[in-house]
Chains A and B, each alone.
Chain A
């Protein structure tokens, strides 16, 4: 077999690092830092996932083609998230949109989501706010 055989020490070191990061992520959750909490949580989860992929899943010692296949999955996941989140976070960015229909969620509760079912031309003509 041509596969790389890593020493047991490497696996143990990765395992210890994973357990330490688990303790860190639980600890960090109890310190209130606002939006920073989510960023730290995702950063730690990302580091843990990268360690599992690179060492336990042997990608570090695999062919370049394996790197391409593994990265493709992350790339497509990124496209899925970036496009979808940019849709939802920018709804209601246009004044006309806000005027046509009220947000499903009031802006003071969380991210306001505006329905996209109505276009300005279909709006009832009596709505004075359309000309705002």
Chain B
């Protein structure tokens, strides 16, 4: 990827503006499919929450509220640094762009480390469905329902974490090239990765209160 190829539109576009609009719409289409992908899990979660409201409350108390809260704050900060990275790229400041992207990577990695610590503690507390689950202090039927909640918890958060890891790989690639001024004149790559990163943040904005804050 060199500066003179990216600063000119690809041959199927009239100009960079048209290319930018096409990239933007393509990215939003992809995000729409992602919203429905996560949406199905949110729907399953919601229906079982209506069916087993008490178990959902009991299970939510087993999660680490402080860890979820810290992680939400970390992700909101990473969205800010990502927005500033896009801004720096639009202003054609390569060094600043790569610094903001690196800050986003550090925050994203922090999120994953806290998440890993949480998973570890949930394993220790025997809250992992099928593999290591024991809620014998609860009545048998409630224990089964708590196990169901924990299944939703692990599938949804692990799917979210997978998206974070993909995002971090993209950001690492961008930081490497941005530093060399590869995106001068065309910041599409950084803008589209930014859209993806903010989407992952929005998924967590809904996951956090729905999983951790049922009192």
Identify the A interface with B (CB < 8 A).
1-3, 5-6, 8, 11-12, 14-15, 18-19, 22, 25-26, 29-30, 32, 37, 41-42, 44-45, 48-49, 52-53, 55-58, 62-63, 65-66, 69-70, 72-74, 76-77, 80-81, 84-85, 88-89, 105, 109-111, 113
Of the listed stretches B47-55, B110-118, B164-172, chain A binds B47-55
Query: From residue B182, how far is it (CB to closest CB) to chain A in Å?
Result: 15
The reply to whether A73 and B35 contact each other, CB–CB distance below 8 Å, is: yes
Q: Report Cα–Cα, A41/B209, bound state, in Å.
A: 7
The reply to whether A52 and B51 contact each other, CB–CB distance below 8 Å, is: no
The reply to whether B20 and A44 contact each other, CB–CB distance below 8 Å, is: no
Q: Report Cα–Cα, A111/B53, bound state, in Å.
A: 8
| Interface residue SS majority, chain A | helix
Residue in B54, B202, B215 whose beta carbon sits within 8 Å of that of A53 in the complex? B202
Q: Report Cα–Cα, A25/B204, bound state, in Å.
A: 14
Residue pairs across A and B with CB atoms within 8 Å: the count is 141
Identify the B interface with A (CB < 8 A).
16-17, 20-21, 24-25, 28-29, 31-32, 35-36, 39-40, 43, 46-47, 50-54, 65, 69, 72-73, 76-77, 79-80, 82-84, 86-87, 90-91, 185-187, 191, 194-195, 198-199, 201-202, 205-206, 209-210, 213-215
Q: Report Cα–Cα, A86/B205, bound state, in Å.
A: 25
Additional A-B contact list (11), CB under 8 Å, known A11-B84, A19-B76: A2-B17, A3-B191, A5-B87, A5-B90, A25-B209, A25-B213, A56-B198, A58-B191, A69-B28, A84-B47, A110-B50
Known A8-B87, A77-B36; contact A3-B52, beta-carbon cutoff 8 A: no
**Residue of B20, B28, B29 with most chain A CB atoms under a 10 A cut-off:** B28
The reply to whether B213 and A29 contact each other, CB–CB distance below 8 Å, is: yes
| Contact residues in B for A85 (Cβ distance below 8 Å) | 43, 46-47, 50
The reply to whether B206 and A84 contact each other, CB–CB distance below 8 Å, is: no
Residue in B17, B32, B72, B73 whose beta carbon sits within 8 Å of that of A69 in the complex? B32
| Contact residues in B for A42 (Cβ distance below 8 Å) | 209
The reply to whether A49 and B206 contact each other, CB–CB distance below 8 Å, is: yes
Residue in B24, B52, B213, B215 whose beta carbon sits within 8 Å of that of A62 in the complex? B24
Q: Report Cα–Cα, A91/B118, bound state, in Å.
A: 38
The reply to whether B87 and A52 contact each other, CB–CB distance below 8 Å, is: no
| Contact residues in B for A44 (Cβ distance below 8 Å) | 209
Query: From residue B187, how far is it (CB to closest CB) to chain A in Å?
Result: 7
The reply to whether B36 and A76 contact each other, CB–CB distance below 8 Å, is: yes
Residue in A5, A63, A66, A69 whose beta carbon sits within 8 Å of that of B91 in the complex? A5
Known A57-B195, A80-B43; contact A19-B51, beta-carbon cutoff 8 A: no
Known A2-B17, A45-B205; contact A56-B51, beta-carbon cutoff 8 A: no
Query: From residue B163, how far is it (CB to closest CB) to chain A in Å?
Result: 15
In the A-B complex, the 3 residue pairs with the smallest Cβ-Cβ separation, listed nearest first, are: A73-B32, A29-B213, A69-B28
Q: List 28 A-B contacts (CB under 8 A).
A: A1-B185, A3-B90, A3-B187, A5-B87, A11-B87, A22-B73, A26-B69, A32-B215, A42-B209, A52-B79, A53-B198, A53-B202, A55-B83, A56-B82, A56-B83, A57-B194, A57-B199, A66-B24, A70-B31, A76-B32, A85-B46, A85-B47, A85-B50, A109-B52, A110-B51, A110-B52, A111-B50, A111-B51
